[in-house]
Structure 1
Amino acid sequence: MQYEEIPTQQIIDKLRQTLGPRIGIAEPLLSGRENSTLAQNEDDEDIALLKTGFDIYNVPITSYQRRLGSVVIAVRKIVRKLLRPVLERQVIYNFANTRVVQTLSTQLQKLQENQQILEKRIESEFSSGSPEVTAQLETQQKAIAHFQSEIEQIKVVQEQHTAILEEITAQLLDRQP
Structure 2
Amino acid sequence: MRVLGIDPGLTRCGVGVVDVRRDRSASLVHVGVIRSPVDAPVAERLATIARGIRAVITEHAPEVVAVERVFAQQNLSTVMGTAQASGVALMLAAEAGLETATHTPSEVKAAITGYGSADKLQVQTMVARVLRLDALPKPADAADALALALCHAWRGAPAPASAGGALTPAQRAWAEAEKRGRRAPAR
Q: TM-score range by the shorter chain?
A: under 0.3
TM-score by length of 1: 0.20
More helix by share: 1
Structure 2 length normalisation: TM-score?
Answer: 0.19
**Higher normalized strand content (fraction of residues):** 2
